[in-house]
Amino acid sequence: MSNLVKRRTLDFTEPWSIFKVMSDFVKGFDELKEIGPCVTMFGSARTKPDSKYYKMAEELGYKMAEQGLHVMSGGSFGIMEAANKGAMKSLNAKSIGLNIDLPFEQASNGYLDVDLKFDYFFSRKVMLVKYSYTYIIFPGGFGTMDELFESLTLIQTQKMYPIGVFLVGKDYWAPLMEFIKNSMVPEGTISPEDVDLITVTDDLDLIVDETFKRLDKKLKKMKKKKLTDLHSYKRLKKFMDSRKKKK
């Protein structure tokens, strides 16, 4: 018997890990199913508080929360901390952090109303996109790139409704957008219209305004498709109606 076969024969941990996966999803669904309309803000945990992007994330977190949209992040430091910190300044919405358990401790930031930890990156990522209507991507590294392209893939394949993917940091994202437009499109690996899924802007008010325009568009589209009995439709309509009354 080869060493590989021996290892597979004696390894009972792999099949049992399914229960840890289930635990991640049950925890996420249970805690977030009634959370209400959210936006998710992604970005580097390495961004320092004196960075312009940190300050912009904090400001945008506050602006979104003031409009009644809960602000969700990966729950750690950097851009994530800034987004949660901004949201905590408002009394109109919750600040949510979905962190990850790592071999080295990844502590949560101190600006969370809801603080959940997950064993697996993929289950955490599902929760970061499932309950949000807009994805806002600040400068970040490999993890942020993964989250960006996961979001775009879900929208491109019509697994998620295309509310919005906003990239904040025009200078930072310029080389990537050039690659997408000048390499991916000509090569045919994506369609020209796929580029339109992305909005690159440093105008934070535009992101807020566009989010609500697209939420209104989503409601109308769901109504046209006779999806008004869905819980998601009723929840979104209630939120949008209450916002109009406040105006």
What would the pLDDT profile of 189-204 be if each residue is shown by its tens digit?
999 999 999 999 999 9
Mean pLDDT over the full length of the chain: 90
Q: Is residue 166 over pLDDT 70?
A: yes
| Residue 15 one-letter amino acid | P
Q: Is residue 56 over pLDDT 80?
A: yes
How far apart (Å, rounded) are the C-alpha atoms in residues 109 and 85? Answer: 9
Query: To the nearest whole percent, how much of the chain has pLDDT over 70?
Result: 92
Q: What is the pLDDT of residue 103?
A: 63
Cα torsion 205, 207, 212, 213: sign:
positive
- Average pLDDT estimate for 27-34: 88
Min mean pLDDT across 130-144, 153-167, 173-187 is at 153-167
Q: What is the pLDDT of residue 198?
A: 97
Q: Is residue 46 over pLDDT 80?
A: yes
Q: What is the pLDDT of residue 21?
A: 87
Name the residue with higher pLDDT: 214 or 163: 214
How far apart (Å, rounded) are the C-alpha atoms in residues 238 and 41? Answer: 24
Q: What is the pLDDT of residue 11?
A: 53
State if pTM tops 0.95: no
Domains of the chain: 35-215 (3.40.50.450)
Cα torsion 36, 111, 152, 55: sign:
positive
How far apart (Å, rounded) are the C-alpha atoms in residues 247 and 238? Answer: 15
Q: What is the pLDDT of residue 154?
A: 92
